[in-house]
Structure 1
Amino acid sequence: MTSPIPVAVLGTGPLADRIAAHPGLVVTEHSPVVLHLSPDPAELTALLGAGRNVVTALPLHDLSLAELAEACRAGAATLHATGGHQSAVAARLTRSLAAATREITRIELIEEIVVPELGADADSARTAAEAAAGYYIDGLRTLADGAFARHGTPTPAGTGEHATPTGERATATPTVTVAVTTDGSGAVERVTADHALGDRVHYRSVRSRSGAVPLRYRLVSTTAAGTGTATVDFHPVDGVPPAEHLALVELLNAARAIDASPPGIALRDLAITYLARDDRLVR
């Protein structure tokens, strides 16, 4: 049986409560492993520079890579940015599937998620969707790496903040379009956010007040031979909503990996069977 991992938790909310109750973790203020659930990215460099190993729930593309890499060097510390979001699992699984088929010309991942409270009005719902865009843009880059990085793991053209990997994500600028549907009283019924990275990689998130299943992912891949679709449904686990469960799984797996890793490395992505270095965070 695996012993519980001691972790410190920075941040509050339902996910923090789940972590505190999880049998695989023991929350203690002075643990060398910090689960960062706070929305403030400025806290990361101080933690890493002080020698604390950090698992952050923030999307990597919102972070200053040069500052993080320097903090990791200064504190001989490890960073793992899971994104802390249910979309991370789907993006990584899709990446592995896409990497096996080099004939793919376009890939789309569609998330359908039930969220009973979508916002008080259309404006607040739109603002929330735009604020979450970073998680999906990280997913776009993960998908692009799997489907369109023709020579294996992308390598940086530079270092630190300005490192630019080869492949689709090197040249494409992410775009986000949000559409909000309301009923006759003005209550928000559905929020659709389309995230694109160039013409070949698309990630759509559809949030509705009700639906057939709590969380569903559909992968649509296009090749010269035609279009294929795969669908995966997620259901509650022990009463925990599937989106929360997937985020918790990501954080727990990252905490275990960091607990077992040597110091002084900067990591981002937990692949299907191994922990992979992020070449944008160089030593």
Structure 2
Amino acid sequence: MNSPFPIAVLGAGRLADRIAAHPDVVVAEPSSAAVVLHLSADVSEIPFHLGAGRDVVTALPLDALPLDEVRDACRAGASTLHATGGFQSAVAARLTRSLAAATKEITRIDLHEEINLPEDAVYPWDTVPDHVLTAYYFAGLRVLEDAAFADVRSEAPVVDTEESGAVHTLGDRISYRSIRTRGTGAGPLRYRLVTTTASGTATATVDFHPTDDVHPADHLTCVELLRAVRPVRASKPGIVLRDLRITHLVPDDRLAILDHEQKSR
């Protein structure tokens, strides 16, 4: 059985106690932690900890980070970063990955996200700037495209803001609509995935409910962050991502450094 893993938690708010209660980890000060879980909107903290030799699992998307500083920090600290290590839409991305593996004839994907937010803060909608939210959805679109249309990389995504949320599209094949409400009495989180083929359309709907009075978006974020801790610690220096086809971490080509070296622990 693995012994509890020393981690530091930055910016988690009320989620810190939930993370600390997990039997696989023990929360420590950053100076004595092996991995930093980053739930803060302050991106400057990430290069600092990487440069100090601490691996970082952040819930922020990679495109929201200063990549040049991240590269330099990973080199200086022989450390590893996993971006978007915690975001509940990873569940929908895995579902898409499974469907794409089973059905090669998909011509279009439409993902609908319905989230009902309470007055208490829920990560990331009440804790990060709006432009970072957009980066989350763009990262999700790329995952969906890689899952179903790996042969072509589309141009930059487009976002259309709506009163209740936004629609993000990638070319003419993928759309990601987010509908956000407050206090409506609706279920807290739902995903509806519509895939189109030449023979018709298929729809899959997944509803999530609170766990121990924790909003499912926060619960899933914690799960994703904690699942990434040990694999990130075991990875080579650089940036890693989760390959949804084989569900483990692989190097990200945006930061291919120190490939010939192992970490010195």
TM-score category of the 2 structures, normalised to the smaller one: 0.7 to 0.9
The yes-or-no answer on 1:267 pairing with 2:250 is: no
CA contact (8 A) 1:33 1:52 kept: yes
- Structure-2 residue corresponding to 1:221: 195
Offset, 1:118: 10
Instruction: Evaluate the alpha carbon distance shift between residue 25 and residue 143 of structure 1 in structure 2; reply closer, same or farther with a 3 A threshold.
Output: same
1:204 aligns with 2:177: yes
Alignment-derived partner of residue 173 in structure 1: 156
Partner of 1:70: 72
Over 3 Å counting, the alpha-carbon distance change for 1:2 and 1:234 in structure 2 is farther
Aligned to 1:138: 139
Assess if the C-alpha contact under 8 Å between 2:97 and 2:144 holds in 1: yes
Contact 1:118 1:208 survives alignment (8 Å): no
- Larger mean CA deviation between 56-65 and 268-277 belongs to 268-277
Q: CA deviation at 1:23?
A: 3.0
Return 80-89 or 249-258, whichever deviates more.
80-89
The count of corresponding residues between Structure 1 and Structure 2 is: 249
- Identity, in percent, stands at 59
How far apart, CA to CA, are the structure 2 residues paired with 1:18 and 1:254?
Answer: 16
Structure 1 position 25 matched with structure 2 position 28: no
Which amino acid in the other structure matches residue 156 of structure 2? Answer: T
Who is 1:162 aligned against?
A: none
Q: CA deviation at 1:27?
A: 0.6
Note the alpha carbon deviations across 1:199-220, whole angstroms, 9 max, x for none.
1111111112325422111111
Q: Which amino acid aligns with 1:31?
A: A
TM-score (norm 1): 0.79
Distance 1:131 1:56, change over 3 A: closer
- Per the normalisation by structure 2, the TM-score is 0.84
Gaps of 5+ in 1: 151-166, 181-190
Q: Aligned pair in 2 of structure 1 residues 222, 35: CA closer, same or farther (>3 Å)?
A: same
Superposition RMSD on alpha carbons, in Å? Answer: 2.5
Q: Which has the higher contact order (CA 8 A, sep 6+)?
A: 1
Q: Which residue of 2 aligns with 1:251?
A: 225
Change (3 A) 1:216 1:179: same
